[in-house]
């Protein structure tokens, strides 16, 4: 047994697990609300007609890539804020946050331009010509929400880094509650508005994003919990060095999310060639897995904050307890999701479709999804702990190798050379996620066994003054 685990303090472990759980629950709620927007879009468009549903679903797939870039880059904010807070340097948080907002604004404008000019992507991936105009209309409309989205993630990062996760949940749930009626009015043409279909869905999403961002900003500026961090002490122009430090941390995380998200997009495109029944079954199983993934993802965000705060205090033992208790808590959540998928696959698939063939195939894929729940939990929890220590570049390389060097080739070989079909692609997901879990946890274990991460932690005022 490694030396740092030779004498586990069960009381401290229980206390740390409780703190993680209290922090994670609102974050899980926020993530479930965020993925709920896709469910609302799918339900509203599905009850309108199949053409609009296909256009919105395709547009959301492209928009999701922008979301991954935005949230990945702004994931630099929580560990940075948590470490400053843990080090007792709260007065520096305001300056860091202002630079994060500049990054959010500039990145949002870049994403706005990219999303509104993404028609070439639609041709590249083979979207049928009849769908392209409505998909493009959705993207041109939803693109206006990109700056609000990235700045909203900066606000979330500030609040969560200060161990204040509830506002993230409140504003995410509020946005979800606003999206349903607004989308209905604009898509279906109610209350005197014209029926805008897919474009209406994009307008509704962009409007909700701006409401969430402005509401969160007003809350942060007015609430006493955020006093003492000098948010409005002065107006700062963009500072290249400060922005570079955040981007140095955030860019690898954005790339990591793109690697994982891109793998699932590639799998979906490969399965799309296997027929309508298989494609529909894949979408059902993927939707269930995506909703389930929000639980370990929210837990991983809590792990980042707890590890970052302990690292800011330069508390070596605290970092180890936060990281390993977080992995243990995540595995417990995965027992629940895996048990449901393995034990009730047909019942869950039946909630999505009345087609027996689709339900049968979806149930088979859901069993495979149940098998990778543990690997998925370990990799996201390990990544969350490493983020708290600002270790992002090696995890980025590990993720790229595991997903694209292992998972995708294995899945393609099984699906098309051994003729396993969709099951082969999903078996590739199991292999890729398992490789990521093993390598990322090994990286975390090695990091926790040493104290080299202390070199990247801001000194506390007491330390810096001797």
- What's residue 306's pLDDT? 92
Q: Three-state SS string across the chain, please?
A: CCHHHCCCCHHHHHHHHHHHHHHHHHHHHHHHHHHHHHHHHHHHHHCCCHHHHHHHHHHHHHHHHHHHHHHHHHCCHHHHHHHHHHCCCHHHHHHHHHHHHHHHHHHHHHHHHHHHCCHHHHHHCCCCCCCHHHHHHHHHHHHHHHHHHHHHHHHHHHHHHCCCCHHHHHHHHHHHHHHHHHHHHHHHCCCCCCCCHHHHHHHHHHHHHHHHHHHHHHHHHHCHHHCCCCCCCCCCCCCHHHHHHHHHHHHHHHHHHHHHHHHHHHHHHHHHHHCHHHHHHHHHHHHHHHHHHHHHHHHHHHHHHHHHHHHHCCCHHHHHHHHHHHHHHHHHHHHHHHHHHHHCHHHHHHCCCCCHHHHHHHHHHHHHHHHCHHHHHHHHHHHHHHHHCCCCHHHHHHHHHHHHHHHHHHHHHHHHHCCCCHHHHHHHHHHHHHHHHHHHHHHHHHHHHCCHHHHHCCCCHHHHCC
Domain chopping of the chain, boundaries: 25-238, 251-458
Residue 464 pLDDT grade (very low, low, confident, very high; cuts 50, 70, 90): very low
Lowest-confidence region among 16-20, 123-127, 311-315, 350-354: 123-127
Q: Band of the pLDDT at 4, cuts 50, 70, 90?
A: low
Residue 297's closest CA among 143, 68, 100, 77? 68
- CA 389, CA 383: separation in Å to the nearest integer? 10
* Mean pLDDT, range 290-306, rounded to an integer: 90
Tell me what pLDDT residue 117 has: 86
pLDDT at 267 exceeding the cut of 70: yes
pLDDT at 466 over 60: no
* Average pLDDT, integer, range 272-293: 78
Q: Name the average pLDDT for the chain.
A: 86
For range 232-239, the mean pLDDT: 81
Residue 181: pLDDT band with limits 50, 70, 90 = very high
Comparing 29-43, 381-395, 446-460, which segment has the lowest mean pLDDT? 446-460
In which band, very low, low, confident or very high, does the pLDDT at 125 lie, cut at 50, 70 and 90?
A: low
pLDDT at 273 over 90: no
Tens digit of each residue's pLDDT (9 = 90 or more) over 67-108: 888 888 988 898 888 888 887 888 888 888 999 999 999 999
pLDDT of 245-264, one tens digit each? 888 888 888 888 888 887 87
Phi then psi dihedrals of residue 128, to 5 deg: -60, 145
What is the reported pLDDT for 3?
54
pLDDT at 236: 79
Tell me: pLDDT of 7 over 80. Answer: no
Residue 105 burial (CB count, 10 A): 16
Mean pLDDT of 259-273: 77
Bigger pLDDT: 268 or 169? 169
pLDDT digits (tens, 9 = 90+) for 315-367: 889 999 999 999 999 999 999 999 999 998 899 888 777 778 888 888 999 99
pLDDT at 288 over 80: yes
Please report the pLDDT score of residue 455 as a whole number: 67
**Which percentage of the chain shows pLDDT scores above 70?**
92
């Amino acid at each position: 047994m490694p030396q740092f685990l030779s004498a586990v303090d069960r009381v401290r472990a229980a206390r740390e697990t409780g703190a993680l759980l209290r922090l994670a629950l609102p974050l899980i709620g926020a993530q479930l609300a965020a993925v709920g927007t896709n469910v609302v879009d799918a339900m509203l468009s599905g009850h309108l007609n199949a053409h609009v549903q296909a256009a919105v679903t395709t547009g959301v797939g492209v928009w999701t890539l922008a979301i991954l870039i935005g949230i990945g880059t702004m994931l630099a904010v929580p560990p940075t804020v948590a470490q400053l807070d843990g080090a007792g340097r709260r007065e520096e948080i305001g300056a860091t946050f202002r630079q994060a907002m500049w990054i959010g604004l500039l990145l949002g404008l870049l994403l706005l331009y990219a999303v509104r000019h993404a028609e070439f992507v639609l041709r590249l991936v083979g979207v049928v010509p009849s769908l392209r105009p409505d998909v493009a209309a959705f993207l041109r409309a939803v693109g206006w929400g990109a700056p609000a989205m990235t700045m909203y993630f900066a606000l979330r990062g500030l609040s969560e880094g200060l161990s204040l996760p509830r506002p993230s949940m409140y504003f995410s749930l509020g946005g979800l509650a606003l999206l349903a009626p607004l989308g209905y009015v604009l898509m279906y043409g109610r209350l005197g508005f014209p029926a805008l279909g897919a474009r209406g869905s994009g307008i509704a999403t962009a409007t909700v994003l701006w409401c969430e961002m402005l509401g969160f900003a007003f809350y942060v500026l007015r609430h006493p919990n955020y006093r003492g961090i000098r948010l409005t002490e002065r107006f700062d122009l963009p500072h290249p060095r400060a922005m570079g430090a955040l981007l140095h941390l955030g860019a690898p995380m954005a790339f990591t999310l793109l690697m994982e998200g891109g793998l699932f997009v590639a799998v979906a495109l490969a399965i799309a060639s296997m027929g309508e029944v298989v494609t529909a079954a894949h979408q059902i199983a993927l939707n269930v897995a995506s909703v389930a993934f929000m639980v370990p993802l929210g837990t991983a965000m809590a792990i980042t904050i707890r590890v970052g705060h302990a690292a800011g205090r330069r508390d070596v033992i605290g970092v180890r307890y936060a990281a390993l208790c977080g992995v243990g808590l995540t595995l417990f959540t995965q027992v629940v999701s895996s048990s449901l998928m393995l034990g009730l696959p047909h019942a869950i698939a039946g909630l999505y479709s009345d087609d027996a063939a689709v339900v049968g195939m979806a149930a088979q894929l859901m069993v495979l999804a149940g098998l990778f729940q543990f690997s998925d939990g370990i990799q996201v929890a390990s990544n969350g702990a490493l983020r708290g220590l600002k270790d992002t570049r090696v995890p980025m390389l590990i993720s790229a190798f595991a997903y694209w060097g292992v998972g995708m080739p294995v899945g393609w070989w099984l699906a098309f050379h051994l003729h396993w079909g969709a099951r082969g692609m999903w078996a590739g997901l199991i292999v890729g996620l398992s490789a990521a879990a093993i390598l990322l946890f090994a990286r975390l274990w090695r990091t926790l066994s040493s104290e080299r991460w202390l070199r990247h932690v801001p000194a506390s005022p007491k330390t810096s003054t001797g």
